[in-house]
Amino acid sequence: MATTSMATRPAVRAINVGVYYGSNKVIEGVTMDMPEHEITAIIGPSGAGKSTLLRCINRLNDLIEIFRMEGEMWFGDFNLYAPDSDPTQIRYRIGMVFQRPNPFPKSIYDNIAFGPRINGFKGKMDDLVEQSLQGAALWDEVKDRLKESALSLSGGQQQRLCIARALAVEPSVILMDEPCSALDPIATLAIEELMQELKKTYSIVIVTHNMQQAGRVSDKTAFLMPDENRVAHLIEFDDTRTMFTNPSDERTEAYITGRFG
């Protein structure tokens, strides 16, 4: 972890994060800085707690009754798990895109306007909708059919709609939970190109089971792996290039070269 750049301050900082479901420990001792305006990838075999860790950042795990987190999670200067911090407010500042596109059964326009509306947006909605769809590189494809159902879009378009929906509430961090796993290669490429655009404005944390994707898109990579008790640990966290060319842990090397996973 010595090569972690100190030039940019972290958008999100995990300090000794551990996660329990009831009395079951699933993640232990994760400490990592996710830098601003960069893409941080979280990789690892299934059951390594990648999504769980990601959902700690916007406190979506709080929806699970038996969830408990120890350690600290910081969002800039804001302690996300301080007793007085409000998950609803946190999710307004930290957007999320899910594994399967989950557009609401409403029109394309209403999907984008949903977040701003519930958060009390007062400006010109039409402009915000256009701007968000442009931000997700979807505007040209849907500008003539904004009143049509979002469910009429293709899978790749739906996922970009979900990205646009997240952009519409103007978060500073976007979490992506395997955003391309349900998409074909062409739609995947479109999302990956979009991510390179988005990172100029936003900080991105992406979970992926696809190592090539992590290698292609991310600046930093975190490798998680469960031990024999199924408790996930952060094995290695480094610049993506360093990690993929010269991993310092032999388990990382074994995983990256495809010897397990």
Partner 1 sequence: MAAGIDGNYNQRLAHRKRRASLFYGVCVAAVILALLMLVALLYSVISEAVAWLNLDGTSIKTLLTEIPSSKAVNSGLFPAIVGTLWVMGICVFVSFTVGVSAAIYLEEYSGGSRLAELIQINIQNLAAVPSIVYGILGLSIFVVLFSMGKSTLAAGLTLALLIMPVVIVSSQEAIKAVPSSIREGGFALGGTRWQVIQRLVLPQAMPGILTGIILAVSRAMGEAAPLVIMGALSFVPFAPASPLDRFTVLPIQIYVWISKPQEEFHHLAAAGIVVLLIMLLGMNAFAIILRNRLQKNLRG
Shortest distance, position 5 Cβ to partner 1, whole Å:
29
> Interface mask (CB under 8 A) for partner 1, residues 164-203, using x and -?
-xx--x----------------------------------
The tokens for 198 are 């988005």
Q: Which alpha helices (H) appear in 73-183, and where do they start and end?
A: 87-93, 108-118, 125-135, 139-142, 155-167
With CB under 8 A as the contact rule, the residue among 106, 233, 241, 251 that binds partner 1 is 106
The residues with which 13 forms a beta bridge, in sequence order, are 33, 74
Cβ closest to partner 1, residue 54 vs residue 235:
54
With CB under 8 A as the contact rule, the residue among 53, 57, 60, 129 that binds partner 1 is 60
Residues 6 or more apart from 199 whose CB is under 8 A from it? 37, 38, 39, 219
By CB under 8 A, what part of segment 199-258 binds partner 1?
none
155 binds partner 1 (CB under 8 A): no
Cβ closest to partner 1, residue 177 vs residue 219:
177
The separation between CA 76 and the C-alpha centre of its own chain, rounded to angstroms, equals 16
Q: What is the residue-wise DSSP string for 189-222?
A: HHHHHHHHHHTTTSEEEEE-S-HHHHHHH-SEEE
With CB under 8 A as the contact rule, the residue among 14, 32, 41, 96 that binds partner 1 is 96
Specify the DSSP class assigned to residue 114.
H
> Strand 10-21 and strand 67-75: pairing?
antiparallel
65 binds partner 1 (CB under 8 A): yes
105 binds partner 1 (CB under 8 A): yes
CA distances from 111 to 17, 66, 128, 188, 222 (A): 34, 31, 12, 21, 32
C-alpha 31/C-alpha 71 separation (Å) is: 9
With CB under 8 A as the contact rule, the residue among 20, 74, 81, 98 that binds partner 1 is 98
149 binds partner 1 (CB under 8 A): yes
Cβ closest to partner 1, residue 74 vs residue 98:
98
Which chain residues interact with partner 1 by CB under 8 A?
58, 60, 63, 65, 88-89, 91-93, 95-96, 98, 100, 102, 104-107, 114-115, 118-119, 147-152, 162, 165-166, 169
